Amino acid sequence: MLILLPPSEGKSVPRRGGSLDLSALGFDGLREPRAEVVRALVELCRTDPVGAAAVLGLGPTQLDQLSRNADLRTAPTARADRIYAGVLYDALDLGSLGAPARRRATRTLVIMSSLFGAVRPQDRIPAYRLSGDTRLPGIGTVSTFWRSHLGDELTNAAGAGLVVDLRSSTYASFWRPGAELAPRVASVRVLHEVGGRRQVVSHFNKATKGRIVRALLTDGDTPRTPAELVDHLGTLGWTVESRPAARAVTQLDVVVTEL
C-alpha cells in the first residue's frame, strides 16, 4: 500500500542537523530534477529578493523565508516527518506511534514536495518555502515540472498494491496514475454533513485525513483494492461512500458529522 500525502505550508525549522544531501534522499531517480529546482530557488532568492517575494507570495512579515531559501544547501536538516507541520501532520502525530506503525509509515507514506518532488518520512530535508503553483525561472510552474519526472518513481513505488491518495488538488497534479494503476487508486476526500448538507471544510478535512492515516498505520491491515479499503475503514469506525471518478480512479467520500 502506498499513501500519498500533501505537504504543509507551515514547516518546523531545525536548529541543528547536517546539510542537505540529495544523494541520501529516497527516489534516487529524482536527484537531478531536485538539483535543478534547488538551484533555481536558491538563485532567485539570492539575486532578486524583491522578485522572489512576489513570486513566492511573501508579505513583509515573511521575508525571513527568503534567506532560508537562499541558504538551502547549507541549512540544517531534519526528517521530513518533523519538518512538515500543520493540521494534518498534528493529527497524524507520527512521532507518537509505536515502532510497528512507524515502520509501516516508512514503507507506505510518500509526501509530495514542491522542492523535492516526493519524499519519504525519514528523508532529511531543510525547511523551505515553495508552493506547487509557483512559477520559477528556468523551471516553469512547479507542478508541471514534477509531472514530467514523477511517473516512473511513484508507479514503481506503488508496485502491485493499493494507492491511497489524500493529496490536495494542487499536489494531485504532480502525478496522475496511469491507466494500468488507476483501478487500484482510491482518492479520499472528507465531507462534513450538517442537516443533510455536505461540504468540504479545509481545516477539518486535513485533520480527519491525518486521523485516517494514523488509524491505518496503527491497525496494520493492508487492503489491496479500493473496495477492501472502504470495508476496512468501516471496521475502523468511518462512514465511507465510494463512486467512480475520472480515469478509472475510485473516489472515496469519508462523511463526518462532528468536527
What are the grid coordinates assigned to 166, written together?
A: 489524500
Beta strands in 123-234 (DSSP E): 124-125, 135-136, 140-141, 163-165, 185-194, 197-199
In three-state secondary structure terms, 149 is: coil
Residue 4: predicted pLDDT: 98
Q: What is the pLDDT of residues 21-46, one digit of tens each?
A: 999 999 999 999 999 999 999 999 99
Where do runs of H (alpha helix) occur along 25-112?
A: 31-47, 49-56, 64-70, 80-83, 87-92, 99-108
- Residue 192: pLDDT band (50, 70, 90) is confident
Give the whole-angstrom CA distance, residue 258 versus residue 104.
29
Reply yes or no on whether the pLDDT at 259 is more than 70.
Answer: no
Q: What is the pLDDT of residues 57-112, one digit of tens each?
A: 998 888 889 999 999 999 999 999 999 998 999 999 999 999 999 999 999 999 99
Give the whole-angstrom CA distance, residue 238 versus residue 163.
19
Handedness of CA 223, 227, 229, 231 (dihedral sign): negative
Q: Average model confidence (pLDDT) for the chain?
A: 94
CB of 64 within 8 A of CB of 52?
no
Residues 6+ apart with CB under 8 A from 162: 1, 2, 184, 185, 186, 222, 223, 224, 225, 226, 228, 229
Q: In terms of pLDDT, which residue wins out, 196 or 159?
A: 159
Local structure of residue 16 (DSSP, 8 states):
S
Local structure of residue 191 (DSSP, 8 states):
E
Q: In terms of pLDDT, which residue wins out, 148 or 63?
A: 148
Reply yes or no on whether the pLDDT at 183 is more than 70.
Answer: yes
Give the whole-angstrom CA distance, residue 74 versus residue 77.
9
Reply yes or no on whether the pLDDT at 212 is more than 80.
Answer: yes
Reply yes or no on whether the pLDDT at 200 is more than 80.
Answer: no
Q: What is the pLDDT of residues 218-241, one digit of tens each?
A: 999 999 999 999 999 999 999 999
Reply yes or no on whether the pLDDT at 142 is more than 80.
Answer: yes
